[in-house]
Amino acid sequence: MSEVKKFKTESKRLLDLMINSIYTNKEIFIRELISNASDAIDKYHYLSLTDDKLPAKNDYEINLSFDKDKKTITIKDNGIGMTHDELISSLGTIAKSGSLEFMEKIKELSKDGENKIDNPEIIGQFGVGFYSAFMVASKVEVRTRSLYDDKGYLFVSKGEDTYSIDECDKDDSGTEITLYLRENTEEYQYDHFLSEWTLKDLVKKYSDYVRYPIKMLCHKSELKEGSKDEYEEKEVVETLNAMTPLWRKNKNEVTDEEYNKFYKEKYYDFEDPLTHIVLNVEGKINYTALLFLPKNPPYNLYSEKYEKGLQLYSKGVFIMDKCKELLPDYLRFVKGLVDSSDLSLNISREILQKSKELQDIATNVEKKIVQNLKNMMTNEFDKYVEFFKNFGINLKFGIYDDYGMKKDLLQDLIIYNTVNEEKMVSLAEYVKNMKEGQENIYYASAKNKEEVLAMPQMDLVKKKGYDVLILSDNVDEFVLKVLDEYDKHKFKSINQGDLDLLDKDEEKRIDKIQKDNKSLLDAIKSSLNGKVDDVIVSKRLTDSAVCLVSGDGLSFEMEKVIKSMPDGDTKDVKANRILEINSNHEIFKLLEDVYSKEPDTISDIADLLYNQALLIEGFSIDNPVEFSEKMCKLMIKAHK
Ligand code: ADP
C-alpha cells in the first residue's frame, strides 16, 4: 500500500522554482546527483573503516545509464542508502544549508512583490542538490536501501505537492535515482541528455575528479577479429572520470610533462606554461592549489571580456570556473584551481565574496605566486625576464592600484633596463650598485638607452657615472610616484626638479650666477610670454646649452599619458615648464653680452633657445616657419 506524503512548505517552494526555472544551466543536475552519490559512498567507506561488523566493499562505484525509448537517465551508487525515515527527512524536507540560504534569498527578492526568482543568475549561484533533478525530469524515482535496513524503499515524486513511498526489492545498500525526462519544448531539448557523448562530456566537465569510478555502458566500433576493414559494435563498460585529481597526487609523483599536458588541455593553451606552482595547505583551512603562469598572455587578457579567476573545487567536485575572488587583478593572467575540503558545494557567489576562508586562501595564493616569482628572479633570471616582458606591466599596475597598497609586496619584482647595465636590474640591485655619495635613484622616460644618453639633462649624471633607470611603459613614472622611495632613496627624474648632484661650493657658485643675472633671466622669461614657468641657471648641464625640465610634480611624460587618456577633462593637466640655461656654455656669455648692449634683441635668441629645448625634449615647436626664419637671420648676421 502506497504511503503518500506532502512535501514540507519550503521544499515545495524550492521544487516549484526548479520546475519553473528558466535557468539555462540545467545540466548541473548531473553534478548534483553524482556528488550526492559520491557522498553516500564516502559515508559507507567511512563506516566500514570504523565499524568491524560492516562488510568492507572494494567495488565502490557510481553507475550511469540511460534509456532512449523510455527517456530516462539513471544514476546508481552502492553507498550508504537511506532508511524510510531518512527518505522523508532528506528528500521530503530541505535539509541542507545551501537550500535554506537559497530560500532566504528568494524570500528577500520576493519582498518587493515582484517575482524575480526565475532570474537564472540567482539560481545559478546555488548548489541545488537533489531537487535539481526536477529541472529536467517530470518524475523522479528513488530506489534505496540503507545499509542498516533489510528492506528497500521506492520514493516517487512528480515534483508536485506530494511524494509516495513504497517498499521495494533491493539487493544491496545504495541508491538508484531514475529521472523521467520532460517533453522537449521549443526552448529546450531535454532529450539531448540521452546520448553517450553528452553524458560523458558532462561527467568530464563537472565530476572528472570524483574519487569513485563513474561507469557507463558505452558502445564502441571496433575492427572485427581477423578482419582489416569490417567493424562491429561492442558494448564496453567505461569509466568516465579520471578519479584522482592531478593536484591531489603527491608532487613528486607527477612529472612536469603531466602538469604541462594538464594545463594545455584544461586551459586551452597550445604552449607549455612558463611554470607551475603546487600548494598543499593543512591547517585551519585545508586546500590544494595548482597554479600556472602562462608563457604568453592570452590573446584577450587586456580586453574587457577577459575573466580572471581560478577554478574552485570542493573535495574534487567542481564548483565554479572563474572564481575571481581568488586572484587579485594584477595576477589576472594566472590560471589554475583551488580544491578545498572546507568549502561547501552549495556556496553562493554572495557568500563567497564574504567568505573568510576564501579570502585567506586568496591571500595565501597571492603570496605564494609572488614568492615563486621572487625565486624565479633569483634562480632563473632569464626565465624571469621572459616572464616580465610579458606580464611585468600587470605587476606595475599592481603597485599603482589602490594607492600603492601592494607596493611593499611587489616593489622587488619590478626590473628595469638601465644606462649602465647590460641586463635588467631590480631596485635592490640598483641600490647595491650605487656610487659613493649617490643619494638618489635616477630615472628617465625614454624608449631606449641611446635616447637617454643623448639627453642634455644627462650631462652631469653621466660625469658622475650614476646609473639611470630607463622607463618605457606609460605607467612607469606613476609607479615610481606611488613608491616615492626605495630603501630610503628618493626617486629623481633626470629632467625634473633639483637633481641634488652638486657639491656645496658649486651649488653656491651657481646660485650666485642665478642671482647676478636675475634681470637677464626675467627678461628671457617675459619674452617667452607665458610659454615657460621659469628660466634658471642649470645645475645639471655641463656641455649642452639648454634644456627644458619640469617641476617636481607632474612630469612631461605623465602629462602626455594623462592627455592621451580617452575620457576625463584633461585640459588643465600641464607639467611646469622650466627652461634651464648652462652658465658654463658660451651661449650664456652671449646672452649676457647681448642683454647689456641691445636688450631688445634678447627675445629672438630666447625664442631660438626655447625652441631648441622643445625639439630636444621631443616636443613639436609652435611655429616652425618663424623658427627657421630666425635661424637664417642669425646665420646671415654671423657671417656678414
Ligand atoms: P545535500 O546533498 O547538499 O545535503 P540534497 O538535497 O542533494 O542536499 O540531498 C539531501 C540529503 O539526501 C543528503 O544530505 C543525503 O542525506 C540524502 N541523499 C541524497 N542523495 C543520496 C544518495 N544517493 N544516497 C544516500 N543519501 C542521499
CA of 38 to the centre of ligand 1 (A): 10
Q: Whose CA is nearest to atom 21 of ligand 1?
A: 36
Residue with grid cell 506530494, as numbered in its chain = 162
Q: Tell me 139's DSSP state.
A: E
Ligand 1 probe mutation, 39, 74, 148, 179, most atoms within 8 A of CB = 39
Residue with the bigger pLDDT between 585 and 403: it is 585
Asked if 174 contacts 144 with a C-beta cutoff of 8 angstroms, the reply is: yes
Rounded distance between C-alpha atoms, residue 410 and residue 475, angstroms: 15
Residue 44 has pLDDT above 60, yes or no: yes
At residue 492, φ and ψ (nearest 5 deg) are: -130, 130
CA of 36 to the centre of ligand 1 (A): 5
Residue 346 has pLDDT above 60, yes or no: no
Predicted local confidence at residue 128, as pLDDT: 64
Nearest CA among 532, 550, 540, 554 for reference residue 609? 532
Predicted local confidence at residue 123, as pLDDT: 44
Range with the poorest average pLDDT among 63-72, 331-340, 568-577? 568-577
Q: Whose CA is nearest to atom 19 of ligand 1?
A: 36
Q: Whose CA is nearest to atom 9 of ligand 1?
A: 130
CA of 94 to the centre of ligand 1 (A): 10
Q: Is 88 in the pocket of ligand 1 (CB under 6 A)?
A: no
Neighbours of 549 (CB within 10 A): 27
Q: Is 79 in the pocket of ligand 1 (CB under 6 A)?
A: yes
Q: Is 147 in the pocket of ligand 1 (CB under 6 A)?
A: no
Q: For residue 94, which atom of ligand 1 is closest to its CA?
A: 6
Residue with the bigger pLDDT between 531 and 638: it is 531
Reported as a pLDDT band with limits 50, 70 and 90, residue 266 is: confident
Q: No. of H helices and E strands in the chain?
A: 22, 23
CA of 525 to the centre of ligand 1 (A): 83
Nearest CA among 138, 130, 128, 141 for reference residue 181? 138
Q: Whose CA is nearest to atom 13 of ligand 1?
A: 90
Q: Which amino acid is at 288?
A: T
Predicted local confidence at residue 64, as pLDDT: 98
Predicted local confidence at residue 95, as pLDDT: 54
Instruction: Kindly state the average pLDDT of the residues 571-592.
Output: 92
Residue 105 has pLDDT above 70, yes or no: no
Q: Which residues of 486-512 are buried (b: 16+ CB within 10 A; e: fewer)?
A: beebebbbbbbeebebbeeeeeeebee
Predicted local confidence at residue 187, as pLDDT: 86
Rounded distance between C-alpha atoms, residue 633 and residue 576, angstroms: 31
Asked if 575 contacts 616 with a C-beta cutoff of 8 angstroms, the reply is: no
Q: For residue 174, which atom of ligand 1 is closest to its CA?
A: 24
Instruction: Kindly state the average pLDDT of the residues 442-450.
Output: 95
Q: Is 90 in the pocket of ligand 1 (CB under 6 A)?
A: yes
CA of 155 to the centre of ligand 1 (A): 13
Reported as a pLDDT band with limits 50, 70 and 90, residue 214 is: very high
Q: Is 174 in the pocket of ligand 1 (CB under 6 A)?
A: no
Range with the poorest average pLDDT among 46-55, 81-90, 322-331, 385-394? 46-55
Residue 124 has pLDDT above 80, yes or no: no
CA of 53 to the centre of ligand 1 (A): 24
Reported as a pLDDT band with limits 50, 70 and 90, residue 228 is: confident
Range with the poorest average pLDDT among 229-243, 335-349, 384-398, 596-610? 335-349
CA of 2 to the centre of ligand 1 (A): 23
Ligand 1 probe mutation, 32, 33, 85, 90, most atoms within 8 A of CB = 90
Reported as a pLDDT band with limits 50, 70 and 90, residue 21 is: low
Nearest CA among 544, 569, 547, 546 for reference residue 556? 547
Q: Is 130 in the pocket of ligand 1 (CB under 6 A)?
A: yes
pLDDT tens, 449-506? 999 999 999 999 999 999 999 999 999 999 999 999 999 999 999 999 888 888 899 9
Reported as a pLDDT band with limits 50, 70 and 90, residue 211 is: confident
Q: For residue 177, which atom of ligand 1 is closest to its CA?
A: 23
Q: For residue 43, which atom of ligand 1 is closest to its CA?
A: 25
Distances (CA, A) of 416 to 40, 81, 277, 393, 411: 57, 63, 26, 12, 12
Q: For residue 81, which atom of ligand 1 is closest to its CA?
A: 25
Q: For residue 35, which atom of ligand 1 is closest to its CA?
A: 2
Q: Is 475 in the pocket of ligand 1 (CB under 6 A)?
A: no
CA of 129 to the centre of ligand 1 (A): 7
Q: Which residues of 86-123 are buried (b: 16+ CB within 10 A; e: fewer)?
A: bbbebbbebebebbebbbebbeeeeeeeeeebeeeebb
pLDDT tens, 285-328? 999 999 999 999 987 888 888 899 999 888 777 777 889 999 99
Q: Is 92 in the pocket of ligand 1 (CB under 6 A)?
A: no
Predicted local confidence at residue 120, as pLDDT: 42
CA of 32 to the centre of ligand 1 (A): 9
Q: Is 43 in the pocket of ligand 1 (CB under 6 A)?
A: no
Question: Which cell numbers hold the place of 276?
Answer: 607551475
CA of 200 to the centre of ligand 1 (A): 23
Range with the poorest average pLDDT among 6-20, 404-418, 545-559? 6-20
Residue 22 has pLDDT above 60, yes or no: no
Rounded distance between C-alpha atoms, residue 230 and residue 219, angstroms: 16
Predicted local confidence at residue 40, as pLDDT: 92
pTM above threshold 0.85: no
Q: What one-character-per-residue DSSP string does 358-406 give? A: HHHHHHHHHHHHHHHHHHHHHH-HHHHHHHHHHHHHHHHHHHHGGGGTT
Question: Which cell numbers hold the place of 439?
Answer: 643619494
Range with the poorest average pLDDT among 96-100, 311-315, 393-397, 510-514? 96-100
Asked if 235 contacts 252 with a C-beta cutoff of 8 angstroms, the reply is: no
Q: Is 82 in the pocket of ligand 1 (CB under 6 A)?
A: yes
CA of 344 to the centre of ligand 1 (A): 14
Predicted local confidence at residue 121, as pLDDT: 43
